[in-house]
Chains A and B, each alone.
Chain A
Amino acid sequence: MIALWDGLPAETQDIALVVLLILPALIVGRIVLRGYAPWPLIGALLWRFRWANGLFVLLIAVSVGMGIGLLAQERGLRQGTAAAADKFDLVVTAPGSEITMMLAAVFLQPSDVPLLDGATYAAIAGHENVALAAPLGFGDSFGASPIVGTTAEFAIHLSDGRIEGRMWQDYGEAVVGALTPLQIGDGFIPAHGVGDGAEHDAHGGEELHVVGRMGATGTPWDRAILLPIETVWDVHGLANGHAPEHGEQIGPPFDPAYFPGTPVIIVRANELWANYALRSEFITDRTMAFFPGTVLGNLYRVLGDIRQAISLMTLVTQSLVAASVLLGLFILSNLFQRQLALLRALGAPARFVFAILWSYGAVLLVVGAAFGTVLGMIAATVLSRVISARTDILVSAPIGWSEIHYLAGFISLMTLLSLLPALAAFRKSIVAGLRS
């Protein structure tokens, strides 16, 4: 059975799970309603208590929306950050905290990181399995944009070659991310440092020119300004990576003797399998190598506990809301006593009366859950926009299968539970109900 299940395609599993989860509600509904046509009556009763019902639906919708929104958002955030790290197969830095290094290299969070020297870079760049070894130079900025020095190959790799205009060919040229305010042809003067502490006149007045613009990547790199790393070194008065006789060269190979150092080397293997070998090779006493994807994965695992706590909390809120709604239905059923007694006096079977009350509750639940889904989608979209705007990490949080499963489970559970208040129909005798 389990083997059979595991053998199914993921999509089929998801659909099957939805069906399985919603089945109890459908079966109960079928059994309770079989052979009856009570909908006009249910509609009439719903209409009579429309304000109370509206409130119930709203409560359910908000709680369901919160649950779904949080679930979708959390997944969206995970996928967004993972996608942002996609282009960074293997990162080599000086030994230290992987998370700090990853935040600096992948998410461009400024931090003080030690440098790797030219020999180390040369060894990595010259490795037979390395297709791309890009140094990154941080530290300068222009407005809200961090300036990153690197190689043309890396800029092309990062943008998948989608560069409007052209690649830099000379010292004073820059390629900008899709979200920077600079246009092709604009000039700018880099400031030393980033944020409020940036010193604007530290580098003299050398103006750089934008010659290209990368397509959007959905990562913090969309805000960045990329320069030849030689320019960054040069602006800081360092050697520019090349021997004086090759002084005008842009890009690798670099001469170890004139290599000022780089905090990060982004490495791409020529074969997928080689990544693991490279990582173990580059873990030495002077270098650390890690897969950002794995570091993120570890982070998610730690955060997973928090996520579970949040899920539990939303589940508890939701159950509380649902419980109070059921209690409300229970109380409301008192107001129905006379109508329900009348139905029984007219010869309606007990199951019909039960069906009326149950359907009443089920309609509120299903409508509430439907509104909740819409609410959750809106909440997740708004939250995603806010997060994307704040972090430049493209986060999209569409409703996924786990939310649909969650919804189906919620509806089933609650429709089963609303069998309980329906039993309230039989508390009073018919005559007492008629006289009430």
Chain B
Amino acid sequence: MTDAQTSPVADRKIDRSKMAVSDEVAIEIRDMNKWFGNFHVLRDINLTVNQGERIVVCGPSGSGKSTLIRCINALEEHQKGTISVDGTLLSNDLKNIDRVRSEVGMVFQHFNLFPHLTILENCTLAPIWVRKTPKREAEETAMYFLNKVKIPEQADKYPGQLSGGQQQRVAIARSLCMRPRIMLFDEPTSALDPEMIKEVLDTMIQLAEEGMTMICVTHEMGFARQVANRVIFMDQGQIVEQNEPEEFFNNPKSDRTKLFLSQILGH
């Protein structure tokens, strides 16, 4: 295993005291299928995520990882099966979709900050317009979370003036301002320079320590080992294998998983 894969988080003792998994179901996916035109991109996905779980999804490029987590907040429609988030069934009802989206935070590979708004405005926009929070209160919350991701001093700058790592931390803060119960991460570090990966992972670890339910698509295996309580391996639109990190890495069952791990970990 290369050091680069583990080093970002290895120097940190992780506080597991609040990382308890509850019995309460946060996300329930039943026999879900999705097609892009005729292309069957997700096949018979079954996945239950409890409140407080930290799940890492990995798999070769094009295996449907992004599509899977984008289905959870209805950025993509699924065609068959059911997804329910916090007890709300994702159907075509726009009301449900908007409600789920405001409960589920999402962090993208390319940050997707709004370049025409300042960092503070990026963070207060949704609370003010979706949650109808008064402006002052929304700004206080935003500053609280910007403090948390350690960039309060950038509040009045525009996204274009920040480094990639800083932008990604703002994106995380922006999602947190909606006080989501679940956070989705789609390869949050893969567009970043190596020296910035650590700061973003640190932020994510901090979130995990506070008991946030998280689903992360990532190839940071160090993060997976230390933070995840379950690792899911996907290939060709299917969940091939899922297990606790120790078992997953040391004792993979399927050949595809073994092949993938050997490639990514450079054995």
**Are A and B part of the same complex?**
no
Residues of A within 8 A of B (CB): none
